[in-house]
Amino acid sequence: MKIIEKLKNIFENNNKIYNQESLNLEDRDKLLHKIKFKNSMNENIEQIKAVFGESYDLNFRKIKIGQEKKVAVLFYISGLVDSNAINDLLKNLEVDLLQINEHLKKKKVDLEYISDHILDNQDVELLDDFDNAMEKATNGSSILLFEGSSFCMVCETKGLKLRSITEPNSEMSIRGPRDGFIESIVTNSSLLRRRIHSPHLWIKDMKIGSLSRTRVAMAYIKGLASEELIEEIETRLRKIDWDTILESGYIQEFIIDQPKTIFPLVERTERPDKVISNLVEGKIAILTDNTPFVLILPTTYNMLLQAPDDYYEIFPIGSFIRLLRFIAFQMSTILPAFYIAVITYHPELLPVSLFLRIAATREGLPFPILFESLLMESIFEVLREAGLRLPRSIGSAISIVGALVLGEAAINAGLVSPPMVVIVALTAIASFTAPSYALASSARMLRYFFILLAGALGLYGILIGFILSLVHLCSLRSFGQPYMQPYAPLIWSDLKDSIVRHNLWNQVKRPKLFGGRTPDRQPKYQKKTSPEEDTK
């Protein structure tokens, strides 16, 4: 404590001391909070230079206002600001010279007058908090300092270069909007606003991260989302004390209920339409600055296997595709294990000709089937990871090497059996049907668990594994909501949108546990009646 006090004294005497190398981050942070704007402009400039240190991207533009040639300094960080906005600002300051002159005769420099009358078309704010002003500057605002004033004027001149709104790569759809979130939280919330033209969509923001001070916002439909849930999420968010939030994944990890699970307890998406469709069911979205991934919570297992296309296509097709996806996903976890179990424990289950085929291919193979399947699965995972990380130009080469050379050569050399390659390939393809990458990843891990169980206990082992994972799934909670709803607990009305999707006009109710506050989505059944009935 004493040291800090001492340092503070030194600092007040000489700003340069701030740059002493002996100060660690914590001390610097504490000092930063204590700095105040001085009346002298030059001193203020010195202070800014002191806290930013040797950074090269600082800009101080001296301007003179009015006849008195009042000196002011515009401070901004290059690259973060829009040069047009800066020019507008400067122009505005010089336009009504007369006005200023008259005004300045009465008073000295009145910042309020300038912000209200001269820069009235600009987003301007008066601040005397040095720390806050510096944060604004790092956000792209320009700071106007005046001689003889301990206030600064923060002008919104943000002009960050952003990529344009494109279709999200990780979540494609055949039918549906092609816009996706980008790295700017403001743009992202505008994408949400675009879809709900109602003030009931509330987007509440906060800053998280002691260093990064990342803007994080909760979006929800006021009156629909449960107040307790909103409160709970807000408390959990406010509790986060981490230095930098680079991605929404950081937040996810801090706020989930059960860290010891491989299943994703929070859904993330790049699609605004997906977010909105969840918001209107009473869920809550968390937007994070600098990432296109928005979190949706609470999450259910059911949600993770639903894709936007299911709703955009007519319901029989939507249901069929969804059913297919459910089956394929189950297959991706269990298929290799099932193959091993049948071959090693229950060969009598196979049709004779199929069994003979497989038996013929297994003749003289060097590895036991369990090891072979673990090997092949691991090779596939390695290939997949490599394909993901490699530059795109080399990626295709890897896929050729992986698919042709490894697969073909391994079979020709008699290292692995062709049916195993078929099984691994089938599993891989099936695993890509899951719309949620996180869920597919958990299936990848489960697969090994099932393979080991099948190798040790056969179909009995698979059954044990199935029961264990089912028990685990049923015990999971996402923000207090059962993960496996509407299956466990069984909610009959919600089953209309589960493995199959019923007609929209038939889904009168919102999901019971989310949208319980305003349960009805629509007036009673809106089934299209026949013309004869209409006339009656």
Q: How many residues bind another protein (CB under 8 A)?
A: 30
Task: Give the 3-state secondary structure of 329-391.
Answer: HHHHHHHHHHHHHHHHCCHHHCCHHHHHHHHHHHCCCCCCHHHHHHHHHHHHHHHHHHHHHCC
> With CB under 8 A as the contact rule, which of the stretches 68-76, 271-279, 447-455, 526-534 interacts with another protein?
447-455
User: Does the protein bind another protein through residue 153 (CB under 8 A)?
Assistant: no
Q: How far is the CB of 416 from another protein (least distance, A)?
A: 12
Q: Among residues 80, 152, 233, 369, which is the contact residue for another protein, using CB under 8 A? A: 369
Tokens of 247: 């991605």
Q: How far is the CB of 466 from another protein (least distance, A)?
A: 15
Q: Among residues 53, 148, 316, 414, which is the contact residue for another protein, using CB under 8 A? A: 414
Q: Running DSSP on this structure, what letter comes out for residue 496?
A: G
> Do the beta carbons of residue 205 and residue 217 sit within 8 Å?
yes
Query: Which parts of 337-366 interact with another protein (CB under 8 A)?
Result: 343-345, 347-348, 352-365
Q: Between 449 and 468, how does the x/- string for binding to another protein read (CB under 8 A)? A: ---xx-xxxx----------
Tokens of 135: 């944060």
Look-up of token digits 């607990």 = 489
Among candidates 261, 209, 265, 258, which has minimal Cα distance to 237?
Answer: 209
User: Does the protein bind another protein through residue 368 (CB under 8 A)?
Assistant: yes
Q: How far is the CB of 363 from another protein (least distance, A)?
A: 5
Among candidates 126, 113, 120, 108, which has minimal Cα distance to 71?
Answer: 108
354 or 403, CB closer to another protein?
354
- CA–CA separation, 71 vs 8, rounded Å? 30
364 or 391, CB closer to another protein?
364
24 or 353, CB closer to another protein?
353
447 or 510, CB closer to another protein?
447
353 or 535, CB closer to another protein?
353
- CA–CA separation, 479 vs 484, rounded Å? 13
Q: What is the DSSP annotation of 264-294?
A: -SSEEES-HHHHHHHHTTT-EEEEETT-S-E
Query: Which parts of 44-83 interact with another protein (CB under 8 A)?
Result: none
Among candidates 162, 161, 255, which has minimal Cα distance to 208?
Answer: 255
Q: How far is the CB of 375 from another protein (least distance, A)?
A: 15
259 or 391, CB closer to another protein?
259
Query: Which parts of 210-229 interact with another protein (CB under 8 A)?
Result: none
Instruction: Work out the number of other CB atoms within 10 angstroms of the CB of residue 202.
Output: 14
Q: How far is the CB of 344 from another protein (least distance, A)?
A: 5
> With CB under 8 A as the contact rule, which of the stretches 52-60, 177-185, 395-403, 412-420 interacts with another protein?
412-420
∠ CA 299-424-336 to the nearest 5 degrees?
75
Alpha helices (H) along 55-145: 83-95, 97-106, 111-113, 130-138
Instruction: Work out the number of other CB atoms within 10 angstroms of the CB of residue 495.
Output: 14
144 or 342, CB closer to another protein?
342
Among candidates 112, 62, 75, 120, which has minimal Cα distance to 96?
Answer: 120
Q: How far is the CB of 288 from another protein (least distance, A)?
A: 31
Q: How far is the CB of 472 from another protein (least distance, A)?
A: 12
Q: How far is the CB of 333 from another protein (least distance, A)?
A: 18
Residues near another protein (CB under 8 A): 343-345, 347-348, 352-365, 368-369, 414, 417-418, 452-453, 455-458
